[in-house]
């Protein structure tokens, strides 16, 4: 199957010409502003006004330069809204096209120039104007990863985000091919069609699989259905086969697993569809309790238990039942499911009425858009594909409790781990004491281990199961305690490179939620969750405001 052929949309030639005008392609020019076109490119309104009003260059605002580009296009490319408005007011054609039939709006989409887009569209620019390749402004914005620009023209001017170019490719196809995960989240949030096939029979997932972009494929798979995983292109290849053919083994493995329909998805529904390993865990714990009672405490082939050992034994049993209460609680408790903060005016209409600027949750991070739940979620939240919900302060999905661990049940989960660790430790201590202090008579060829296995098999089996459980519980408890002390979730610790709010201005890891070990632990143990808003939101808002100014 052939790769996408990206017919030149003028982007490369625009950049080369701009370098020439700015004197970056050769020797430095003493004065790069030599005509109306270069004045527009540099945003020099005073010089432009001089050329037009006193230099007799008014006609240049209506005519292209020697390369076929208009002054308005140069102003649009560099987001000089005041210059663009002046050109339009003095005769510039807002819909003038170059040799590729691209308008100034196409050029504005290249750099994400939203201010110029407002000027152009408010003065009659054709929103759906297409160039020789059928690219509209939405296609160009998707090609260049200009998510903010894309959102702006969709939400404010109702641009067709599912428009097709000459090769029947939508903006979603282009965003998937270019690897722009943020643009994909936005388009899927707006209900873009992700099973549409282009002239090659490819869906957006096909193109993402070819490029081997794991994040893009993950977003598409989680937001879609099984259908796009099994669709074949004109060559008869599925996304899984294409990713394998291109040598993306890890991605191929993930897509292959996603293609498989699990027994639970096929035959179960409701809560039973995510029953997980909780019944196995419960059964394991019950077996441990039975072995402890029959083979350690009340075993007839052991010597009589002492009062001190009996006290510790009943302490272990008490902790066992208390941990089972917490096990039930953490398995059934809502981990912090986020309710939809948006709704459709019409179920058949896309979600274009969402105003991100007026959302108290929105901080400028496109990963806050959940294309599956169609909600704007707070930072630190994540969509769980197993629970099929977005969870606030998502930590991880634990199959052993058949539930997510999030803001509302992380305290319960940590207490459960502590109780389980204490129970296992007490059980192991009592069992080891009973085995070690048991008087034995060994033959000359018999070892102590062989004697215990043959004479007390139940006690040895309990010790093996309990130590195995204790090891896992200690690791989990230690990991959770360390993360609580740092006020970071398991998801953030494992995927810190994916979250921009966990990076400082220098690009290094920075946790804005960390207020010191003592404060973090106190807040968690007392309040039962971390207060994100008090800890970090002002800092984050400042960070994103500075980033927006820089990008503009």
Euclidean distance between CA atoms 369 and 378, whole angstroms: 9
For tokens 């810190």, the residue is 496
Q: Which CATH class name applies to 11-160? A: mainly alpha
Interval 2-12: pLDDT, tens: 444 444 344 54
Low-confidence ranges of the chain (pLDDT < 50): 1-10, 12, 23-28, 262-264, 266-273, 342-353, 537-539, 542-552
Q: What is the pLDDT of residue 441?
A: 60
Burial class of residue 298 (count of CB atoms within 10 Å of its CB; 0-12, 13-18, 19+): exposed
**What is d(CA 203, CA 239) in angstroms, rounded to the nearest whole number?**
9
Q: Which two tokens stand for residue 448?
A: 């102590």
Q: Quick check: 356 and 151 in contact, CB under 8 A?
A: yes
Q: DSSP secondary-structure letter at 295?
A: I
Interacting residues of 99 by C-beta distance below 8 A, sequence separation 6+: 68
Extents of the domains making up the chain: 11-160, 278-334+408-438+455-551, 360-405
Which among 192, 200, 61, 214 is positioned nearest to 139, based on CA atoms?
192
In the DSSP assignment, the letter for residue 174 is: H
Distance CA 71, CA 5 (A): 29
- Give me the residues paired with residue 389 across strands: 384
* Cβ-Cβ contacts under 8 Å for 224 (sequence gap 6 or more): 194, 195, 205
Number of separate helices (H) and strands (E) present in the chain: 25, 6
* DSSP 3-state of 433: helix
Query: Are 393 and 532 a contacting pair, CB within 8 Å?
Result: yes
Residue 344 CA: distances (Å) to CA of 147, 189, 377:
22, 12, 17
Instruction: Identify the three-state secondary structure at position 4.
Output: coil
- Rounded CA gap, 83 and 41, in Å? 9
* pTM higher than 0.75: yes
Spell out the long-range contacts of 420-426 with Cβ–Cβ below 8 A and sequence spacing 24 or more. Answer: 420/323, 420/327, 420/469, 420/473, 421/470, 421/473, 421/474, 421/477, 422/319, 423/316, 423/319, 423/320, 423/323, 424/466, 424/467, 424/469, 424/470, 424/473, 425/470, 426/312, 426/313, 426/315, 426/316, 426/319
Residues acting as catalytic residues:
398
352 vs 12: CA distance, rounded Å: 32
**Can you say how many angstroms the Cα of residue 148 is from the centroid of all Cα atoms in its chain?**
17
Give residue 535's region: left, alpha or beta (phi > 0; psi -120 to 50).
alpha
Question: Which segments of 325-378 are extended strands (E)?
Answer: 369-370, 375-376
H-helix or E-strand containing 30?
Answer: none
């Amino acid at each position: 199957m052939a790769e996408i052929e990206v017919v030149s949309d003028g982007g490369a030639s625009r950049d080369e010409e701009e370098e020439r005008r700015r004197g970056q392609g050769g020797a430095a020019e003493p004065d790069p502003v030599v005509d109306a076109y270069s004045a527009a490119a540099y945003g020099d309104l005073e010089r432009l006004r001089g050329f037009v009003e006193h230099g007799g260059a008014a006609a240049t605002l209506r005519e292209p330069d020697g390369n076929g580009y208009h002054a308005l296009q140069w102003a649009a490319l560099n987001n000089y809204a005041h210059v663009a408005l002046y050109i339009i007011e003095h005769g510039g054609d807002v819909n003038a096209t170059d040799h590729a039939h691209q308008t100034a709006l196409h050029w504005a989409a290249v750099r994400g120039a939203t201010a110029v887009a407002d000027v152009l569209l408010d003065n009659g620019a054709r929103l759906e104007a297409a160039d020789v390749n059928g690219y509209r402004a939405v296609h160009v914005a998707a090609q260049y990863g200009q998510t903010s620009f894309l959102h702006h023209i969709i939400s404010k001017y109702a641009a067709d985000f599912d428009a097709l170019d000459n090769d029947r490719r939508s903006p979603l196809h282009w965003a998937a091919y270019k690897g722009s995960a943020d643009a994909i989240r936005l388009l899927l949030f707006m209900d873009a069609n992700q099973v549409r096939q282009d002239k090659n029979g490819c869906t957006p997932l096909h193109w993402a699989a070819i490029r081997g972009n794991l994040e893009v494929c993950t977003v598409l798979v989680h937001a879609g259905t099984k259908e796009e995983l099994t669709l074949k292109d004109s060559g008869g290849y599925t996304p899984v086969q294409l990713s394998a053919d291109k040598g993306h083994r890890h991605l191929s493995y993930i897509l292959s697993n996603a293609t498989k329909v699990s027994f639970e998805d096929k035959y179960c529904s409701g809560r039973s569809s995510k029953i997980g390993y909780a019944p196995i865990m419960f059964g394991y714990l019950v077996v441990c309790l039975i072995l402890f009672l029959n083979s350690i405490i009340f075993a007839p082939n052991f010597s009589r238990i002492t009062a001190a050992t009996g006290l510790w034994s009943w302490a272990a049993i008490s902790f066992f039942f208390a941990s089972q209460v917490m096990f039930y609680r953490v398995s059934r408790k809502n981990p912090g499911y986020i309710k939809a903060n948006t709704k459709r005016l019409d179920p058949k209409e896309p979600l274009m009425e969402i105003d991100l600027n007026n959302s108290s949750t929105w901080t400028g991070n496109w990963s806050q858009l959940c294309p599956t739940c169609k909600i704007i979620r707070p930072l630190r939240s994540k969509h769980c594909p197993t629970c099929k919900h977005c969870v606030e302060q998502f930590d991880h999905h634990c199959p052993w409790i058949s539930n997510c661990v999030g803001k509302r049940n992380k305290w319960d989960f940590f207490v459960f781990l502590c109780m389980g660790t204490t129970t296992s430790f007490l059980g192991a201590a009592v069992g080891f004491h009973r085995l070690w202090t048991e008087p034995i008579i060994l033959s000359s060829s018999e070892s102590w281990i062989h004697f215990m296995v043959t004479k007390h098999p139940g006690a040895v089996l309990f010790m093996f199961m309990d130590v195995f459980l204790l090891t896992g519980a200690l690791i989990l408890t230690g990991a959770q305690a360390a993360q609580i002390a740092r006020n970071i979730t398991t998801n953030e610790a494992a995927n810190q490179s994916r979250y921009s709010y966990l990076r400082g201005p220098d690009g290094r890891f920075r946790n804005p939620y960390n207020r010191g070990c003592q404060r973090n632990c106190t807040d968690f143990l007392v309040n039962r969750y971390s207060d994100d808003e008090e800890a970090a939101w002002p800092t984050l808002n400042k960070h994103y405001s500075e980033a927006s100014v820089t990008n503009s």
